[in-house]
Amino acid sequence: MSLLKKTFLPALFSGALAFSASAHAGLYGFTSANPYSYEEEILDIKVPPEHIPNYRAEMRGNIIALADFAAARNKDFQIIVHEGQELLHKSLWEYHLDGYNEARRKGINANDPTFLARLKKHAPEREPVAGTQAALYQKKLSAVAVNNLFCGSASVSPHIKKAGLRLISIDSCPTEDLFDEGAMNSVGLNSLFYGFIKPQSAFKKIKKQPIINENAENIFSVKDAKNISFLIDDSLYGDKESFLEDIRNSNYDIVVIEPFFQHKTPFTAEEISGLKFKKNGTRRQIIAKMNVSEARSDDYFWRDSWRLENPSWLRRASFVDANGVIVEYWNDEWKNVMGKYFKGIVDTGFDGAFLTGLENHRFFEKQTPLE
């Protein structure tokens, strides 16, 4: 019998996250609302810039700041990053960036086609070393979520295991057999598995997802959990109470939701507190999803005067969200918006945050000559 037709597996099993271009949940790896244009693909920079920001360092810095803020208010608050494994170590791109910026400071001609070839070709194997920003970033995390690990071809950074972080995988499985195989293979990695067969129904209805590793244990951290559900698309719910009721009537160890019902109405501290117990009466974790590099036109903080490139830090239509805009996430005005949003999550009593949008450093890197 397929695991999809069972309500639980023996307590040995855990879970994963997946890929689908047709699902429309605004989660990177699952949608393609606004792909690169032809002009963006053939980007040709005539005049190399004098200085290129380290977009990865800026992203790490934001995550570290959020984690520090949360820890000051709740020492048990957990940070989960989606597709943030590229930031776990200093990358080859960053070494090239260091060389580029140093060369420009010294007046070396960056138009020379052999310029990049003379830069470091391999990053040190021991990164991240103690005291580096990447090492600090690692310490702030509880888990890393990756896409398509078991029903696809994704690879996992060895730094996840070295840092003792929990692995979560989200998988869009084309068949029930591959779903079953993915659930089984997740056992050896002690990973949490969230898989689905039909992308159009993913993330939307908690009742339609089988619980992998259902249990009656109290869950006080991501590391304790044996299963996970993502209910981050509430479009099928006509009211907030029916949404909350579905979660209360489930036995998932971790449930990830948006902190605002349909992006407008915040959940109260009382409502979140009521979700922290499974139907069987034991404790679970309620985690808030937050995009750290995108704003939506229906977010409560969106101003009527805002348009693409107005203010200037609203840079590009989101790749995955039809209502989203990629921002210059290092901009102080955005940091202020993001900080207030995150403060609301912490103060409402969520057990942690599932941070998305970390991949957007790639968009800004693509606009540079370090390709």
Task: Please give the pLDDT value at position 313.
Answer: 97
**Is residue 129 classed as helix, strand or coil in its secondary structure?**
coil
Task: Please give the pLDDT value at position 285.
Answer: 98
What is the C-alpha separation between 261 and 275, in angstroms, rounded? 14
Which helix (H) or strand (E) segment holds residue 104: the answer is: helix 92-105
Q: How many CB atoms lie within 10 A of CB 304?
A: 6
The 8-class DSSP code of residue 127 comes to: P
pTM of the model: 0.88
Task: Please give the pLDDT value at position 15.
Answer: 28
Contact present, 171 and 151 (Cβ < 8 Å): yes
Task: Please give the pLDDT value at position 121.
Answer: 56
What is the C-alpha separation between 78 and 350, in angstroms, rounded? 9
Which residues neighbour 23 within 8 Å (Cβ) at sequence distance 6 or greater?
A: 30, 31, 172, 199, 200, 202, 203
Task: Please give the pLDDT value at position 98.
Answer: 81
The 8-class DSSP code of residue 159 comes to: H
Task: Please give the pLDDT value at position 119.
Answer: 57
Give the residues of the chain that fall short of pLDDT 50. 1-25, 113, 371
Task: Please give the pLDDT value at position 72.
Answer: 98
Find how far residue 87's CA is from the centre of its chain. Answer: 12
Task: Please give the pLDDT value at position 2.
Answer: 47
> Is the peptide bond prior to 311 cis by the omega test (within 30 degrees of 0)?
yes
What is the C-alpha separation between 304 and 243, in angstroms, rounded? 29
Alpha carbon separation from 25 to 19, 20, 61 (Å, rounded): 11, 10, 27
Task: Please give the pLDDT value at position 21.
Answer: 35
What is the C-alpha separation between 258 and 327, in angstroms, rounded? 19
The 8-class DSSP code of residue 337 comes to: H
What is the C-alpha separation between 250 and 243, in angstroms, rounded? 11
- The one-letter code for the residue type at 20 is S
